[in-house]
Amino acid sequence: MRKIKKRYLILIILVSFIMFVWLNNTSLFMDQSGSYKLLAHRGLAQTFDISQVEWDTNTAEIIYEPEHKYLENTIESMDVAFSYGADVVELDIQRTKDGQLAVFHDYDLSMRTDGKGKISEYTMEELKQLDIGYGYTADNGESYPFRGQGIGMMPELKEALERFSDRELLIHIKDDGLETAKILWTYLASMPPERLAQITVYGDEQGLAYLREKNSSIRVFSIKLLKSAFIKYELFGWTGYVPEGMNNMEIHIPLRWAKYIWGWPHKFIERMESVNTRVVIVKGNGKWSEGFDTIESLEKIPKGFRGYVWTNRIDIISSK
């Protein structure tokens, strides 16, 4: 009898534990009437076959036949993205020779412009003379549909901050992070708290650490920070505990892996919102900025998802 009672006790404890974990992490009983927000990658840009991309691929040389006139990382492309309903626009920055911050993605100017070399080898005034539409082709160099149309269109970050002074921006530090982060902080330091709350920065850990030293509440994101935070969360998140390392972050999650996260989707979003952390879902494995770029792709997003959806084609998916 004692053995039977002991077994029943163990069974009761085990079932109670399982029920606790399930109830603490299920979203079944939560409000699912919310809707997701849209994060436009580089504004509205020319897109390409993601399956062809490696770390050194010149994506301007493999674009699809253009369906619109906009070029990535320009004031015009960000403006139209917001007009299509983007809640956040992502942009890339690099340090110039004269200590300014050019909005540009590639490590070599020759990949997209009629210049060559690094952003850091030129002043901002010199970069303004380049044609950022020079290298785009959809037919292996038979034609260049944007050549001559991008002269003077490379922005300096202050232009974007001033033009979109009441909008949320995700700033990607593309070059060696620390020196660029120091310059970036001179742009951010005078912002009031409510404006700084609209800015998120991601990139090199050293640069992000510097920004965090200057302001501990600034929202940041890096792969290293993300991995460290998620290891702790996967170990203890079933209890509802949110590791301190997940505070004031942006988290990018490939949708295919999201179902393995404690509390996914609604309880997890609620937990992250409570610590000023933004959750963004991406398509694919998250490696090459694959986005939700078709109406069909949106069907996989959980009902009532309140986080952010990464897209390269805000013009298409905003119509849903």
**Residue spans of beta strands (DSSP E) within 70-190:** 88-95, 101-103, 168-173
Two structure tokens written together for 176:
């060696």
Residue the block writes with tokens 């909005």: 103
pLDDT attached to residue 212: 94
What sign does the dihedral 254-30-221-162 (CA atoms) show?
A: positive
pLDDT attached to residue 1: 65
Neighbouring C-beta atoms of residue 311, cutoff 10 Å: 26
Answer yes or no: are the C-beta atoms of 186 and 214 closer than 8 Å.
no
Q: Over its length of 320 residues, how does the chain's per-residue pLDDT go in tens digits?
A: 666 777 888 889 999 999 999 999 999 889 888 899 999 999 999 999 988 888 889 999 999 999 999 999 999 999 999 999 999 999 999 999 999 999 999 999 999 999 999 999 999 999 999 999 999 999 999 999 999 999 999 999 999 999 999 999 999 999 977 999 999 999 999 999 999 999 999 998 999 999 999 999 999 998 888 888 899 999 999 999 999 989 999 999 999 999 999 999 999 999 999 999 999 999 987 777 799 999 999 999 999 999 999 999 999 999 76
Nearest CA-CA partner of 249 in 289, 211, 287, 282: 211
pLDDT attached to residue 226: 84
pLDDT attached to residue 223: 85
Neighbouring C-beta atoms of residue 42, cutoff 10 Å: 23
Answer yes or no: are the C-beta atoms of 233 and 271 closer than 8 Å.
no
CA-to-CA dists, residue 60 to 46, 101, 143, 179, angstroms = 8, 22, 12, 28
pLDDT attached to residue 2: 67
Q: For the chain, how many helices (H) and strands (E)?
A: 11, 9
pLDDT attached to residue 123: 98
| DSSP codes joined into one string, 8-56 | HHHHHHHHHHHHHHHHHH--TTS------EEEEETSS---B-GGG--TT
Answer yes or no: are the C-beta atoms of 210 and 185 closer than 8 Å.
yes
Answer yes or no: are the C-beta atoms of 24 and 266 closer than 8 Å.
no
Q: Which domains are present in the chain?
A: 30-317 (3.20.20.190)
pLDDT attached to residue 320: 63
Two structure tokens written together for 116:
């060559």
Answer yes or no: are the C-beta atoms of 44 and 314 closer than 8 Å.
yes
The model carries a pTM of: 0.94
